[in-house]
Amino acid sequence: MGLRTPLFAEHERLGARIVPFGGWDMPLHYGSQLEEHHAVRRHAGVFDVSHMQPVDLAGPGARDFLRYLLANDVAKLKVPGKALYSCMLNDEGGVVDDLIVYYRGPNRYRIVVNAGTADKDLDWMHARATGLDVQIDRRRDLAMIAVQGPQAVALTAPLLPADCREAAAALKPFFAADGERWFVGRTGYTGEDGFEVMLPAAEAPGLWQGLIAAGAQPCGLGARDTLRLEAGMNLYGQDMDEGVGPLESGLGWTIAWEPADRAFVGREALAAVRDNPAHRVFVGLLLTGRGVLRGHQKVLVDGREVGEITSGGFAPTLERSIALARVAPGIGAGCAVDIRGKPVAAQVVKTTFVRNGKPMLDF
């Protein structure tokens, strides 16, 4: 048996199919993954993401610590509430984890890391904080609920505490409102508008039930995966990991090279790859033949292997199969994918397939 979130009883009551994920017992779907996916694109869905781990950092050394720890630069965060997506790299330039960091005030930050990597991440952070004046506080007391979709903000706002309700409703994307007990980010992992709400575990069932009563569709990890894939968002452990860095995972935009004198973990290793024109590139694939793209299938050009799919599946919004893939540079627009020994035609496209309910590519 895995770990259970404060919403586990809610999932059982809703008849969820429960699966192990990152050490947790989590809902895969509540009946139909496709319906859950469409609900998020068209209306609003609610996800239990309490398996993800908020970590608070504070102390006079917090800012300097994060500027060293992360490949993106928290010095960009000047307004309280602003969020930043970053990789946390190892010395070889591989990815220890990807995370969001929220700026809460001078030398006060909250980061949110992945479930399966949380123990490793905390060890990694503590080892690099030696001698620095920074407190690292793993917030096991918080639950986290994501509400996503065009109606998500309108549905959620009336259910928020008075101390952050107005601020939350007025948030720009990638900002957060800090209440006394609740923390509300206008962030997500679906390509839709919405909130991610961190709150005390005991209050989570009330918010969950309120959102469902207001018409939000409960959604499991299955829909979360097809939604993020359509949005072209990376999944740690599939699209990048400790052996494959951001430059080969479509995450070059998250590396803050300037200022040039900022030392951060992995910088030297990344710089060497950056100047190597042979480094692999991260692309989107649209299957034009019949079948379903899946992780680890080989990408072919003229029968020759040029790369591999890292994440693939059926895209419910497009009713086609799509994938993220790591391939040799300069392969052009046409390729094939080896599906069970047969080459099936595919097209190289941008990694953003769907945004705000709309397909981003023509076919």
Partner 1 sequence: MSAVPADLRYTASHEWVMDNGDGTVTVGITDHAQEALGDIVFVETPEAGTEVEAGDACAVVESVKAASDIYAPLSGEVVEANPVLADTPEAINEDAYGKGWIFSLRLADPGALSGLLDAAGYQAVVDAEA
248 and 277 Cβ atoms separated by less than 8 Å: no
User: How many residues sit in the footprint of partner 1 (CB under 8 A)?
Assistant: 17
For 235-250, b/e burial (b = at least 16 CB within 10 A) is bbbbbbbbebbbbbbb
The nearest distance, CB 73 to partner 1, in angstroms, is 38
| Residue 42 is a binding residue for partner 1 (CB under 8 A) | no
> Cα-atom radius of gyration of the chain, to the nearest Å?
20
Q: Which is nearer to partner 1, 340 or 358 (CB)?
A: 340
Instruction: Look at the block and give the residue holding tokens 């793993």.
Output: 138
Region at 165 (left for phi over 0; alpha for psi -120 to 50; beta for the rest): alpha
DSSP H/E element including 328 = none
The nearest distance, CB 61 to partner 1, in angstroms, is 45
**Alpha-carbon distance 277 to 49, whole Å?**
38
- Which of 14, 271, 273, 292 binds partner 1 (CB under 8 A)? It is 292
**Alpha-carbon distance 63 to 357, whole Å?**
37
Strands (E), 167-303: 176-178, 183-185, 194-200, 217-219, 281-287, 298-301
206 and 330 Cβ atoms separated by less than 8 Å: no
**Looking at 27-35, 81-89, 185-193, 258-266, which segment touches partner 1 (CB under 8 A)?**
27-35
The nearest distance, CB 314 to partner 1, in angstroms, is 4
Q: Which is nearer to partner 1, 72 or 226 (CB)?
A: 226
Q: How far is CA 25 from CA 50, 198, 224, 350, in A?
A: 11, 19, 15, 34
* Contact characters 318-347, partner 1, x per CB under 8 A: ---x------------------x-------
Q: Which is nearer to partner 1, 14 or 271 (CB)?
A: 14
| Residue 29 is a binding residue for partner 1 (CB under 8 A) | yes
The nearest distance, CB 26 to partner 1, in angstroms, is 14
In the window 2-21, what residues touch partner 1 (CB under 8 A)? 17
Q: Which is nearer to partner 1, 39 or 112 (CB)?
A: 39
| Residue 317 is a binding residue for partner 1 (CB under 8 A) | no
**Alpha-carbon distance 24 to 114, whole Å?**
12
* Contact characters 187-226, partner 1, x per CB under 8 A: -----------------------------------x---x
Q: Which is nearer to partner 1, 61 or 295 (CB)?
A: 295
The residues of the shown chain that bind partner 1, judged by CB under 8 A, are 17, 28-29, 32-34, 222, 226, 290-292, 294, 313-314, 316, 321, 340
